[in-house]
Amino acid sequence: MLPQNDRTPLVFIDSAVENQPTNLECDCVDCACSLVNAVEAKATAVPSATLYHSTTVSTQHLDNAYTLFYGPFHEPAVLNKMAVSLLDQFAVPRPVNPAADKDTQAAIARLQQARLLTPEGTRFTVQQTSQQLNAWLHVTDRCNLDCSYCYLPHLKHDMSLETGRQIIETLVETAVTHNYSELKLKYSGGEALLRFPLVKQLHQYAQELTQPHQIKLRGTILSNGTLLTKTIAAEMRALGISLMISLDGLGCIHDAHRPYAGGRGSFNDVQEGIAIAQNAVLNLVISITISGRNAHGLAELVRWLLTKNLRFNLNFYRENKHSDGELTFEDEQIISGMLAAYKEIEQNMPDYSLLDAIVDRANLSAPHLRTCGVGQNYMVFDHNGRVNKCQMHLYDGPPNQTTSQPLTWVQTAPEGIQNLSVEDKDECSSCEWKYWCAGGCPLVTWQATGTFNKRSPNCAIYKAIYPEAMRLEGLRLLQLHADQGMVL
């Protein structure tokens, strides 16, 4: 591992921690990101001159010299043996020795930044403090692909410009009324690039309406990547619109998941679209959907993405009535494929954290009470401007609603998905991962159990891969500090 001076306490944390805001909003381009209802880990304490070692923390030994410390209310930190000994001294609350040498004082400061050392009496809670309103705009149901797991019927339904403008007006009014400082629009389908002229007009209109209110606007297009051109990419960059492209494997593996409507493979065209997006310097994320059919090729795909410096996230297949009946989701296959992919990450470690990207809908980068923003600050609009709670229910669930108060309906409607807090899921109460996992996708849980208050049917998979994901973060921190010459 790394060379070290055994007499110097070393604490490695992400350099971004020092400047990290307490309000953690999701900045990814995923369509159902787990921090869509961002929360903060709030510490409350009476004034105290003494510090103590928080007990809400877990550990992993990375090797004989370094240990990873992590917890939902703490930043991941890697400590050498001297730093562990230093931390142990605060098992009983005690003041900091003012005569401590500068290395010890620096280590204590970093332990405080990671919230491993906190003032005596500190209590942590998870509070919802989102400033971001999120909306999915279903600009078309048409698509040029016939993906095996798609949940849409692909009807000839298109959103009109008039309807789209009305949706934008409603969203801006909602953001102003409910004091949201950010509005995030996700243009999707079907294949959203079939309607790029509409997307362009709607985003320009949203810019026009949000600017007077100083509302920060974010936009992303969810696409299969086959229709991206240099012209479209340049216009997206000028508008500040991000892009998510779906890619489920290399070559024939992707083609089996995501063929054209006529059966021809789409991988080569998707690969070309990715190259166009990279050359245009778009904010690009690759979305990977994992099933039993493609899990064996996940490691090879992840290696390919890392060598091209492409950001990605890993999502599990979700069964629906329109999906391929032969598509499987076996736990052992998924776990094996995920762990093999993690090995590739370890061999090609990026300098940025992957804690929000490699564990399905869980997000290990910050605590949260709900897996997604359904029923909170997330709305889905169909091509007619009607609202629903989740895109999975656009054509298969409670009827889409016509209402002038869409956010109020989403938050209070008894029908449809009930996105409970993990605090209300009895089976999750004692789990160390509950504030990261939040119990999993509520729709998947309901489909498997007929209720919303149980743990995810994917719980066994999650518990198998979460520790490995945390281990990767520990190894990344070691490499990051070694590369920066900060290791003694």
Strands lying side by side in the sheet with 11-12:
11-12, 74-80, 66-71, 58-61
- Which pairing describes strands 74-80 and 11-12: parallel, antiparallel, or unpaired? antiparallel
State yes or no: pLDDT of 21 exceeds 60.
no
The pLDDT value given to residue 144: 93
216-244 tens-digit pLDDT: 999 999 999 999 999 999 999 999 999 99
Residue 206 is which amino acid?
A
Residue 457's φ and ψ, nearest 5 degrees, are -65, -15
Report the C-alpha gap between 215 and 145 in whole angstroms. Answer: 35
Residue 16 is predicted with a pLDDT of 67
Instruction: Put the strands of the sheet holding 117-119 in their side by side order.
Output: 94-95, 50-53, 117-119
DSSP notation for 38-97: -EEEEEE----SEEEE-SS-EEEE-SSSEEEEEETTEEEEEEEHHHHHHHHTTSS-EE--
pLDDT tens readout for residues 127-152: 777 899 999 999 999 999 998 888 78
Strands 11-12 and 39-44: unpaired
**The predicted structure's pLDDT at residue 257:** 92
Report the C-alpha gap between 257 and 482 in whole angstroms. 40
Structural domains of the chain in order of their starting residue, each with its CATH number: 128-412 (3.20.20.70)
Answer with the residue of higher pLDDT: 179 or 28: 179
Which of the four pLDDT bands, split at 50, 70 and 90, describes residue 125?
Answer: confident
What is the reported pTM?
A: 0.90
401 contacts 159 by C-beta, under 8 angstroms: no
pLDDT at residue 321 is higher than 80: no
What pLDDT does 149 receive? 84
- Tell which residue, 336, 337, 365, 371, has the closest CA to residue 352: 365
pLDDT exceeds 70 at position 64: yes
Which pLDDT value is given to residue 153?
77
Residue 185, pLDDT above cutoff 90: yes
What is the radius of gyration, based on Cα positions, of the chain? 23
pLDDT at 47: 54
Query: For residue 282, what pLDDT band results from cuts at 50, 70 and 90?
Result: very high
pLDDT band for position 443 (50/70/90)?
Answer: very high
Q: Is the pLDDT of residue 160 over 50?
A: yes
C-alpha dist (Å) from residue 75 to 31, 66, 432:
26, 16, 15
Model confidence pLDDT, tens digit, residues 409-427: 999 999 999 999 999 998 9
Whole-number pLDDT of residue 396: 74
Q: What is the mean pLDDT of residues 56-81?
A: 95
Q: Which of 344, 351, 346 is nearest to 483 (CA)?
A: 351
Could you give the CA distance from residue 486 to residue 294 in angstroms, rounded to a whole number?
A: 40
